[in-house]
């Protein structure tokens, strides 16, 4: 299915589920993993706003899979045996060219040959297509998505119980979280964006700006991502507003 196909299937499902959240458990942490996340998170936010229970610190788009793929594919290329030893920030969104791996910000630093860079970025961005091809069209990346959801949920639970220093990438409403406004201004005013955030007992403690010092190639990727993200975000908001009578 294309992202547009997924939107047609999932937009109304997310709208209805979040309506239930707004009515019956408005203080819940909401982790949206239904694609296209770039659009379904704005739908969720608009539904929560319509019920006057929107807390940006408690609404998350799960993008953990993107950083897992970035670490895994980079480890394969560099010869690192354990991908967990490499941390690579991935920002932007959660589909295709809205996914921006910041390889220059890897910890520890990695050296990617120029002739391998584009193919590595493409693999990180379109890893889901690779899984679909491997399954010969009979399925998608269900196992890795399950892992991503588990990883993020576990991080939230740890943070709620007081564990410090929990940082996860997530697609959030930037104007509503500490540190988000500064990041939003740096990316052309986009309100929703995937960025590492520190988690605490009440949700987002702060958004962490990892955009400083990125390379020219990464700036190009980010510029392309902004265009796609705006369309995705607007699509979600427009759907939610058109559905307002059903909320």
Task: Point out the residues that are catalytic.
Answer: 94
Residues 6+ apart with CB under 8 A from 205: 178, 197, 198, 199
> Strand (E) positions, 36-92?
59-62, 90-92
Q: What are the Cα distances from residue 105, in Å, to 25, 89, 123, 211?
A: 38, 7, 18, 9
| Cross-strand bridge partners of residue 203 | 200
Whether the CA torsion 35, 37, 43, 44 is positive or negative: it is positive
The total of other beta-carbon atoms located within 10 Å of residue 148's CB is 22
């Amino acid at each position: 299915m294309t992202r547009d196909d997924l939107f047609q299937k999932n937009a109304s499902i997310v709208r209805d589920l979040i309506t239930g959240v707004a009515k019956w458990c408005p203080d819940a942490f909401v982790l949206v993993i239904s694609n296209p996340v770039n659009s379904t998170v704005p739908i969720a936010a608009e539904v929560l706003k319509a019920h006057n229970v929107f807390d940006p610190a408690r609404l998350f788009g799960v993008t953990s899979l993107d950083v897992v793929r970035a670490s895994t594919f980079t480890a394969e290329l560099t010869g690192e045996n354990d991908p967990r030893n490499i941390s690579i920030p991935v920002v932007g969104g959660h589909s295709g060219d809205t996914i921006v791996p910041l390889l220059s910000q890897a910890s520890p630093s990695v050296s990617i040959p120029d002739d391998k860079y584009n193919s590595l970025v493409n693999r990180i961005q379109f890893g889901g297509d690779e899984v679909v091809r491997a399954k010969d069209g009979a399925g998608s990346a269900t196992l890795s998505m399950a892992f991503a959801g588990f990883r993020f949920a576990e991080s939230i639970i740890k943070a709620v119980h007081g564990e410090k220093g929990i940082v996860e990438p997530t697609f959030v409403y930037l104007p509503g979280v500490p540190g988000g406004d500064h990041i939003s201004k740096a990316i052309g005013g986009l309100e929703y964006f995937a960025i590492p955030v520190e988690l605490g007992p009440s949700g987002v403690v702060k958004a962490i700006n990892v955009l400083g010092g990125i390379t020219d190639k990464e700036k190009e990727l980010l510029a392309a991502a902004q265009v796609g993200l705006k369309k995705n975000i607007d699509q979600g908001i427009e759907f939610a507003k058109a559905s307002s009578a059903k909320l």
